[in-house]
Chain A
Amino acid sequence: MIRLEKRPSPSRAWTIATPLVAVALTMVAGSILFMILGKDPFAAIKTIFYDPLFHPDFAAFSRPQLLVKAGPLILIAIGLSMGFKAGIWNIGAEGQYIIGALAGAAVGLALYPAESFLIYPAMVIAGALGGWAWAMIPAILRTKFRTNEILVSLLLVYVAENILASAAVGWLRNPEGGGFPGSRNLSKWASSANPELISGTGMHWGVVAAFIAVILAYVVMSRHLLGFQIQLAGQAPRAARFAGVNPSRLVVLCLGISGMLAGMAGLFEVTGPAGQISIDFNSGYGFTAIIVAFLGRLNPIGILLAGLLMALTYIGGELAQFMLGLPAAAIQAFQGMLLFFLLGVDVLSNYRIRIGTGKAA
């Protein structure tokens, strides 16, 4: 008989090993899926995990793209992880990402076509404020009216999407675009462009911001009182209250930080890789970042690695689609497996497997 026995404290070894085991299991289950679809599983796994990094034709392009794709995921996930640790569930980063991009782009476009090195910083600040303000709606509704921030933040994503559509076809539309939806191209106007900083690396301001966020989050979570309060509030809310943690303040802070980072991610994206506000500008980074945060075990370094891994499955998945003719849905299922196995294997870090007839508790 197999039983699960709760460990007194989570196993350190398993905490580190579970993501690796989950990736390995995903590869095995993915191979079976690809085999059922009639594709060579080894070729598929190689195309997804190896080719973006080392393929002679693609790698020079794909490797920097890893950073481009991982940058916003990491930046958003870092913000989310702080709240998640404290038991504050911001599911609406996608909406904050959109509003951040809109606010930043609006500030920039209001100044078009001025040439000044001050415009870009102003846009970044506007983007951060936009995301922050959008996150303040669930924060204040929760602290004042005790609404559920999961629902409010999620539903505000759909509100944000409609504001985005109205901006793209209306108030931010390119006046020289012949009536077509979409704003001016911000990446082609020097004052608002977020270019590749070092040629051939994919490094842009958003990636730089993501790295800074990782370091700051690491310091805050391990060295700062706020980090301690966040951990305590998540693990023992009652104890936290006795220790003088103000839960309302923590909600406002955590939602504010995650909203701000998501807003900045949106701004870096709209001025760089995306280039313009369009109807479908958001492409799910805010939701994928939730997976990245958990895949990284809510730890800043873990999130950095998880973001890069997720980016690899996206870019490798695209390659597999057109090189091997794998359907897009198979790639999405493959990414879903990754989270599924991670959560499944997670049991091992909190529980011990006992085999045999041990006595009933």
Chain B
Amino acid sequence: MKLTKILAAATLVSGLATAAVAEDPTKVGFVYVGPIGDGGWTYQHDQGRLAVEAAYGDKVETVYQENVPEGADAERVLTQMALSGADIIFTTSFGYMDPTNNVAAKFPDVKFEHATGYKREHDNVSTYDARFYEGRAILGTIAGHMTQSNKIGYIASFPIPEVIQGINSSFLHAQKVNPDVEMVVIWAYTWFDPAKEADAAKAMIEQGVDVILQHTDSTAPLAEAAKTPGVIGFGQASDMAEYKPSPRVASIIDEWSPYYVKRVGEVMDGTWENGHSWGGMAEGEVVIGEITAPVPADVKAEAEAMVAAITSGEYHPFTGPIFKQDGSVFLAEGEVATDLQLVQMDFYVQGITAEIPQ
């Protein structure tokens, strides 16, 4: 009897304590790999942070740390953020994968969200990514139509599945509208290095490339394209509107705001659960920026129709028949790639003559 009373009292007290905690603003932390002024990857994540503030006002408090190296420092930064009372922390670069999981083990009450990774070793770790290959399909379509030399270029960062998806998706859709198209791929081995990216763009232009796609985050390739008449490119990660209307004729924008607002809301009402989120155009996470005047109206209409088809789920950019570079079948007629096939993609599709570096 007495014991039940104590238990009841304890439950009541802990209930009150939870209620008291809920009165505090929910603290949301962000860890960035670059400066928030990079105009690309980190900038877009920070826009997501601001969207969370706008959505919840003084019910949330956001903190962030920029320029955090992807090594031992990340683990310390995460720990300090957790110690400072953060309720949920978004770690926004692939290299934070192990640090995120290590710190999550020590703070079971704090939620962790790791961008672009695949390790969820604890119940309080989620991963999230965006289906960039959907946007690449649009850019590939535009590239295939726009190239005069039938040579398009792709400045790639690292040979990981996400990047290879982008290369394949771009090439497949360029080839669909222009069977003679060839693709030059240059590996920059960096996410952000204006000098290296400019060199890659220069080398491509010298080889006769007149449409440049990029999976690196600086505006340097666009600046390089601007120097040569007839060469165009696309904004990457953010709109890169300062290069409108040409050389930037469209852009692929990472829009993290819907996901961040949703997940923070779930933490606030206690419905957050761990898992993997892979949103695309349908979720508003991959957005195509304004398609500018140098692109003919019919091409623009075709691109916009494809955006609509992908958004509605009517069309998947990896729909068979698709063959691997070596001629073997990847997807049979009408077959749609599974997410597992996509996240393990380590081969080029037929028609790309380059090789993936090993």
Query: Chain A interface (Cβ within 8 Å of chain B)?
Result: 57-58, 61-62, 65, 68-69, 162, 165, 169-170, 178-182, 185, 269, 272-276, 278-281, 283-284, 315, 318-319, 321-323, 325, 327-329
- Do the beta carbons of A278 and B71 come within 8 Å of each other? yes
- Contacts A273-B75, A318-B65, A319-B80 aside, 10 further interface pairs with beta carbons under 8 A come to A61-B80, A62-B80, A65-B76, A180-B118, A181-B160, A275-B72, A283-B71, A283-B73, A318-B76, A322-B80
Which residue of B is nearest A323, CB measured?
Answer: B84
Instruction: Please tell me if the beta carbons of B71 and A58 are within 8 angstroms of each other in the complex.
Output: no
B159 touches A169 (CB 8 A): yes
Tell me whether B98 is interfacial, beta carbon within 8 Å. Answer: yes
Name the B residues within 8 Å of A69 (CB-CB).
76
- Determine if A68 and B77 form an interchain contact, defined as CB atoms under 8 angstroms apart: no
Interface residues of B (CB under 8 A from A): 29, 35, 63-67, 69-73, 75-77, 79-81, 83-85, 94-95, 98, 102, 118, 158-161, 189, 343-344, 346, 357-358
Report chain B residues within 8 Å CB of A281: 71
Contact partner of A279 (CB less than 8 A), chosen from B189, B346, B358, is B189
Q: Are A179 and B160 in contact (CB under 8 A)?
A: yes
Whether B346 and A179, one on each chain, are in contact in the complex, defined by CB atoms closer than 8 angstroms, is yes
5 residue pairs, one from A and one from B, having the closest CB atoms: A273-B72, A283-B69, A322-B63, A328-B67, A274-B71
Chain B residues with CB under 8 A of A276: 98
- Given known pairs A321-B66, A328-B65, the reply for A275 and B161 (CB within 8 Å) is no
CA distance in complex: A165, B191 (Å): 12
Chain A nearest CB from B43 CB (Å) reads 14
Selected from B35, B79, B346, the residue in CB contact (under 8 A) with A61 is B79
Q: How far is the CA of A178 from the CA of B161 in the complex (A)?
A: 9
Is A170 in contact with B161, judged by CB distance below 8 angstroms? no
Taking the nearest CB of chain B, how far is it from the CB of A313, in angstroms?
Answer: 14
Which residues of B have CB within 8 Å of A185? Answer: 98
Inter-chain CA distance A325–B70, complex, in Å, is 21
Q: How far is the CA of A89 from the CA of B344 in the complex (A)?
A: 47
Counting chain A CB atoms within 10 Å of each CB, the highest count among B63, B75, B76, B346 belongs to B76
Cβ-Cβ contact count across A and B, 8 Å cutoff? 95
Q: Which residues of A contact B69 (CB under 8 A)?
A: 280, 283-284
**Shortest CB–CB separation between residue B31 and chain A, in angstroms?**
9
Chain B, Cβ-Cβ closest to A319: B80
Q: Let me know if A179 and B75 touch, CB within 8 A.
A: no
A-B contacts, 14 listed (Cβ < 8 Å): A58-B83, A62-B80, A169-B159, A170-B357, A178-B343, A179-B160, A179-B346, A269-B72, A273-B72, A279-B189, A280-B69, A284-B69, A322-B29, A323-B63
B76: chain A residues within 8 A (beta carbon)? 65, 68-69, 315, 318
- Using Cβ atoms and an 8 Å threshold, which residues of chain A touch B81? 322
B80 near A283: Cβ-Cβ < 8 Å: no
Q: What are the residues of chain A within 8 A of B79 when measuring CB–CB? A: 61
In the bound complex, residues from chain A placing their C-beta under 8 Å from that of B343 are 178
The answer on a CB contact under 8 Å between A279 and B357 is: no
Residue among A69, A169, A185, A276 having the largest count of chain B Cβ atoms under 10 Å: A169
Q: How far is the CA of A20 from the CA of B83 in the complex (A)?
A: 31
List residues of chain B with CB within 8 A of the CB of A273. Answer: 71-72, 75
A-chain residues with CB within 8 Å of residue B95 when the two chains form the complex: 182, 278-280
CA–CA, A328 and B77, complex, Å:
13
Nearest residue, chain B, Cβ from A177 = B118
Contact A178 B118 (CB under 8 A): yes
Q: Check B63–A325 contact: CB distance below 8 A.
A: yes
C-alpha spacing A274/B343, complex, angstroms? 26
If A57-B84, A274-B71, A318-B80 touch, does A165 touch B98 (CB 8 Å cutoff)? no
Instruction: Collect the chain B residues with CB atoms within 8 Å of residue A179's CB.
Output: 159-161, 344, 346
Contacts of A278 in B (CB 8 A): 70-71, 95
**A272 to B98 Cα, complex, angstroms:** 13
Interface centre among B71, B83, B94, B102 (most CB of A within 10 A): B71
Name the B residues within 8 Å of A269 (CB-CB): 71-72
Q: Within the complex, what minimum Cβ distance (angstroms) separates A120 from chain B?
A: 18
How far is A328 from B36 in the complex, measured between Cα atoms in Å?
A: 10
Task: Give chain A residues whose Cβ lies under 8 Å from the Cβ of B65.
Answer: 318, 321-322, 328
Q: Which residues of B contact A170 (CB under 8 A)?
A: 357-358
B67 / chain A contacts, CB cutoff of 8 Å: 328
Which residue of A has the minimal Cβ distance to B77? A318
The complex places the Cα of A323 from the Cα of B159 at a distance, in Å, of 37
**C-alpha gap A275/B100 in the complex (Å):** 13
Name B159's closest neighbour in chain A (CB-CB): A169
Query: Chain B residues with Cβ under 8 A from A329's Cβ?
Result: 35
> In the complex, are the beta carbons of B158 and A279 less than 8 A apart?
yes
With both beta carbons as reference points, the residue of chain B lying nearest to A332 in the complex is identified as: B67
Q: Are the CB atoms of B72 and A178 closer together than 8 Å? A: no
Residues in B neighbouring A58, C-beta threshold 8 A? 80, 83-84
Residue of A nearest to B82 (CB): A61
Q: Which of A65, A165, A284 contacts B189 (CB 8 A)?
A: A165
Rounded to whole Å, the gap between the CB of B313 and the closest CB of chain A is 27
Docked complex Cα distance between A235 and B202 (Å): 49
A321 cross-chain contacts in B, Cβ below 8 A: 65-66
Contact of B66 among A68, A165, A327 (CB under 8 A): A327
The answer for the CA separation of A300 and B64 in the assembled complex, in Å, is 37
Taking CB as reference atom, which chain A residue is nearest B161? A179
Residues of A within 8 A of B346 (CB): 179
Minimum CB distance partner of A327 in chain B: B66
**CA gap between A253 and B94 in the complex, in Å:** 40
Q: How far is the CB of A56 from chain B (nearest CB, A)?
A: 10
Chain B residues with CB under 8 A of A65: 76
A322 engages B64 (CB within 8 Å): yes
Whole-angstrom CA separation of A327 from B64 in the bound complex: 10
Q: Is the CB of B189 within 8 A of A322?
A: no
Contact A169 B66 (CB under 8 A): no
Give B30's nearest chain A residue, CB to CB.
A322
The minimal Cβ–Cβ distance linking A51 to chain B, given in whole angstroms, is 10
Residues of B within 8 A of A62 (CB): 80
How far apart are B163's CB and chain A's nearest CB, in angstroms?
10
